[in-house]
Chains A and B, each alone.
Chain A
Amino acid sequence: MNREKIISVKTCLGFISFLIALLMPHIFGVSQYLLTVLIIMLVFILYSSAWNLLALSGQGSLGHAAFFGIGGYTSAIVVKSLGLPPLATILAGGIFAAFIGVLIGLTCVRLKEWFLAMVTFGFAVLAHTITLELPGLTGGWDGLPVQKVIPVTVHNYIMYEYYLVLITTVIVLFVIYQIMNSKVGLAFEAIRENELEANVMGINVMKYKLTAFAVSAFFSGIAGALEIHHFGYITPEVYGIDISFWPIIYCVSGGLCTIEGPILGTIIITLLDESLKNFGWTYERYIMIGLILILIVRFLPKGFVSVPEKIKAYLRS
């Protein structure tokens, strides 16, 4: 009974935040700056949730930029060579990233913890190197100019772009939520808690770990494609260490392995980041973010989502 109540409160909150997000351009007007920040925020919510899904199966990746970048490059190259509209190629980016994800997953299924972290990190460096080695296809260091999703000539194009990204993100979040609450999600959690026991209970560990990799890579690829079609260009910087680390920071600060964790984490950290940026801080704000991450691991291991619980427990005592 109590559980149902909590779920319905969460659903209400989710619905309200979706409504606020929908009305955003109408409350604050069509501001280029605000909507750009919001678009990037949404892309990273999508991307962090994808990372989170992999973490749900007990696999922490340090190289998700590989999938983000592969999704972006695939979409950019398909647009350039086939002349398809970006809306279709974003999906192609996701599919190719998922394919690579399965390949990487095949080498990673037997690895754990640091070994997995290092190898995934290595694959991001590998993807970076390979991209640089194919300048004919990828433009090398200079990257490629990319068609925007909505042409700049359209009046208020940024607003349409915002709605497109918003709807994509909401659909993806819904799918991830369904996965987390399905048998597949339960299998992921069982594997995370104890791989051997999960295996004994008849869960095909390898199959589910690969599924986690494929789905996570698919959504990361979509996030990457969305981002580069927003910026209008792609460079090898999409494989940067930062791109691999941001989703981890967002998920850990928000709350690992929950649906609302990456959303909350991305919003809070992005808002903090943007407001510190307005102070003219550059390195100081990364120092702050590093400190926040350390403090959260130390004092709030379940992330921001556990704050209400902590307050409740404190009031009761």
Chain B
Amino acid sequence: MDISIFIQILVWGLYAGCIYILLAIGLNLIFGVMKVVNFAHGELLMIGAYVTFWLYSSSGINPYLVVPISTFIMAILGILIERFGFRPIRGTGKLNEIFLSLGLIYLLQNSAALLWTTNSRTIHSPYSDILVPLGTIKLPLDYIIIIIATILFLIAFQLFMKKTTIGRAMRATSQNREAAALMGINVERIDMLSFALGSALAAVAGSLWLISGQMVNPYVGSLPAIKAFAVIIIGGLGSIPGAIIAGLILGIAENVVPVIIQSLVAVFNVEMSFTAWKDTIAFLILIIVLILRPTGLFGKKGE
């Protein structure tokens, strides 16, 4: 295979991986602090993308500039979901949290369909025509912006978690909730803040995804959410470096594996469209990992 095509696919994977990482880190933070898996996390990505679309189409300014505003709006929505959804049912069983997430999925998907119809929406980025030459290949500027923005976000997030009081309180709460509460940390406020931060990260992921030329419709959120879940299972619940590595692996595997299989299949002349397997790869990895390690690759025993 031509090496430049391969690099192109690799960059595609890197870009997809960035979106998964942003989503997975939010999910991971909420899980770490509250021990809740929000299955409706992908719907937050979808709503975030729609809010960006709505702000952009009503103001017409550079779409990258409206991302902070939609992020803020989504953080508030996250607070509302935590306050009125997950907080009251804390400690009533894991299944209830799954059921509540299902209710949220229905609520958010159909609210989006009601507000913005089910037509696929897209934003025409001002940089969509610009290609940056990089050696023998050309890359869209948007992809490079997204990759760099994700790296900056991750650095900022890591600094926030390590250096600030709130970040430390979040880590303390995720390590031991009772001990953190005894040390004078308001754990419920930490719950609220981590849910807000998780939702904000989902909104960033959704907005960047939309701006880079992807279509968004009300049902677009469920697959990325599940892939983000696969990422945190592979990378280890609560581990941020693990999520970054796993997100990159998944993003690249999704784009590279179908091409490799396809070129192998071409040799044997079998008729199958392996692009259809793209969305299945995350699950195959997930299933294989969980068969070998039921609590995830780096998961703790007896959780």
| Complexed CA–CA distance, A132 and B273 (Å) | 9
Residue contact B89 to A298, C-beta cutoff 8 Å = yes
Instruction: Let me know if B280 and A126 touch, CB within 8 A.
Output: yes
Which residues of A40-95 are within 8 A (CB) of B?
A: 55, 60, 62
Main SS of the interface on chain A? helix
Q: Closest Cβ of chain A: how far from B278's Cβ, in Å?
A: 9
**Given A111-B294, A122-B286, A133-B272, A297–B233 Cβ distance below 8 Å?**
no
Contact A122 B287 (CB under 8 A): yes
Q: Count of B residues near A, CB < 8 Å?
A: 45
How far is it, in angstroms, between the C-alpha of A252 and the C-alpha of B89 when the chains are bound? 15
Judging by beta carbons under 8 Å apart, are A129 and B100 in contact? no
A119 and B277 alpha carbons, distance in the complex (Å): 16
User: What are the residues of chain A within 8 A of B295 when measuring CB–CB?
Assistant: 115
Kindly report which residue of chain A lies nearest to residue B285, judged by CB atoms. Answer: A122
CA of A293 to CA of B97, assembled, Å: 11
Most buried by A among B102, B107, B222: B102
Q: How far is the CB of A55 from chain B (nearest CB, A)?
A: 8
Which residues on the A side are within 8 Å of B273 (C-beta)?
Answer: 133
Chain B residues in 8 Å Cβ range of A115: 233, 290, 294-296
The CA-CA distance from A286 to B107 in the complex, in Å, is 7
Taking the complex as formed, is B196 at the interface, i.e. its CB lies under 8 A from any CB of chain A?
no
Q: In the bound complex, what is the Cα–Cα distance between A284 and B112 (angstroms)? A: 11
Q: Is B297 an interface residue (CB 8 A)?
A: no
Beta-carbon contact of B114 and A284 below 8 Å: yes
Binds B, one of A144-152, A213-221, A241-249: A241-249
A114–B37 touching, CB < 8 Å:
yes
CB of B283 within 8 A of CB of A301, answer: no
Q: Hey, which chain B residues are within 8 Å of A291, CB to CB?
A: 103, 107
Shortest distance between the CB of B156 and any CB in chain A (Å)? 28
Residues of B within 8 A of A (CB): 37, 39, 85, 88-89, 92, 94-96, 98-100, 102-111, 113-114, 222, 226, 229-230, 233, 272-273, 276-277, 279-280, 282-284, 286-287, 290-291, 294-296
